[in-house]
Amino acid sequence: MSLWEYANPKRFMGWTRPVLPWTFALAGLCLAVGLIWGFFFTPDDFRQGSTVKIIYLHVPAALMAINAWIMMLVASLIWVVRRHHVSALAARAAAPVGVVMTLIALFTGGIWGQPMWGTYWAWDPRLTSFLILFLFYLGYIALWEAIEDPDTAADLTSVLCMVGSIFAILSRYAVLFWNQGLHQGASLSLDAEENVADVFWFPLLVCIAGFVLLFIALVLMRTRTEIRVRRMRALEARMRRA
């Protein structure tokens, strides 16, 4: 049996039913541990004071905001190439979760910006690219909502996602060209020199794991919902024709 079989709606409903509660539980556990650890049991940074605690929300959310889009891109490609319905529905299910992640990254970043840079919002390249990403998410969701026929909607949003990805990367370069910016560079690199201190690093890792798991759990749950909606439509159509 090939891997693709798991993308059959019925099989998908089957194997996600037992998996879903565990994913949620694990996500909750990781988030609770990571956030409590980070909030109560880490010291203040010598420069940033207690604001470092924001990192436990900000960084995982920012990572997931980008990863959600990448996941949507992959799912769209699978839909276009192999036409697996679950794949298209998963892309649809992921988008609102991605929006929430983007919003969390933007809000926590903004709140962090006030003490650090003296302003809630600055047109820094990193922040600006996130704003653009937010707009891409909005457009993508709006297109899904606007189209009646689900297959047409899946096709069109897939094309949008692919074209949008190219332009999102372009925007990132454009924004860098436009403004040099205040935001720090990536410091999660494996290069120990610039890495954050271990005290912050471990709870952060737990939080990132929590966000990833939460994302997976939410996408699975929402995909299940989307599948049920499709099934309901199909049954209703059958009843109408009977």
Partner 1 sequence: MLTVSNLTCARGGVPVLSGVSFEVASGDALILRGPNGIGKTTLLRTLAGLQPALVGTVDYPEDAGAYASHADGIKAALTVTENLQFWADVYEGSGSGRTLRETALEAFDLLDLHNRMGGTLSAGQKRRLGLARLAVTARKVLFLDEPTVSLDRPSVKLFADWLHDHLSNGGIAVIATHIDLGLDAPELDLTPFKAALDQGGSDEAFL
Partner 2 sequence: MPDLGTYAVEVLSAYAVSIALLAAIVGLSWRRYVRVRAALERVEKND
Partner 3 sequence: MIALLLRDLRLAVRAGGGFGLGLAFFLIVVVLVPFGVGPETELLSRIAPGILWVASLLAALLSLDRIFALDYEDGSLALLATSPLPLEGVALMKALAHWITTGLPLTIAAPALGFLLSLAPEAYVFLLLSLLIGTPALSMIGTFGAALTVGLRRGGLLLSLLVLPLYVPTLIFGAEAVRRGADALDPTGALLLLGGITAGTFALLPFATAAVLRINLR
Binding status of residue 168 toward ligand HEM by CB under 6 A: no
Nearer CB in complex with partner 1: 8/179: 8
Binding status of residue 163 toward partner 3 by CB under 8 A: yes
For 222, residues 6+ apart whose C-beta sits below 8 A from its C-beta are 93, 94, 96, 97
Tokens of 197: 């201190």
Surface-to-core class of residue 136, CB atoms within 10 Å of its CB (0-12 exposed, 13-18 middle, 19+ buried) = buried
- Show contacts with partner 2 in window 93-152 (CB under 8 A): 96-97, 100, 103-104, 107-108, 111-112, 114-115
Kindly tell me which residue out of 135, 188, 196, 221 binds partner 3, with binding defined by CB under 8 A.
Answer: 135
Cα–Cα distance between 222 and 216 in angstroms, integer? 10
Binding status of residue 229 toward partner 2 by CB under 8 A: yes
Give the other-Cβ count within 10 Å of 7's Cβ: 19
Answer for the pair 212, 94: CB distance below 8 angstroms, yes or no: no
Q: Which of partner 2, ligand HEM, partner 3, none is residue 14 near (CB under 5 to 8 Å by kind)?
A: none
C-alpha distances (whole Å) from 218 to each of 53, 92, 225 are 25, 12, 10
Phi/psi for 45 (5° steps) reads -75, 150
**Minimum distance of partner 2 from residue 169's CB (angstroms):** 26
C-alpha distances (whole Å) from 221 to each of 75, 213, 214 are 16, 12, 10
Nearer CB in complex with partner 3: 23/171: 171
**Minimum distance of ligand HEM from residue 47's CB (angstroms):** 10
Of the candidates 5, 3, 4, 20, which has an alpha carbon nearest to the alpha carbon of residue 217? 20
By beta carbon distance, the residue nearest ligand HEM is 109
Residues of the shown chain interacting with partner 2 in the complex, contacts defined by CB under 8 A: 35, 39-40, 44, 49-51, 53-54, 57-58, 61, 96-97, 100, 103-104, 107-108, 111-112, 114-115, 214, 218, 221-222, 224-225, 228-229, 231-232, 235-236, 238-239
Note the residues at the interface with partner 3 (CB under 8 A): 119-124, 128, 131-132, 135-136, 138-139, 142-143, 145-147, 152, 155-156, 159-160, 162-164, 166-168, 170-171, 173-175, 177-179
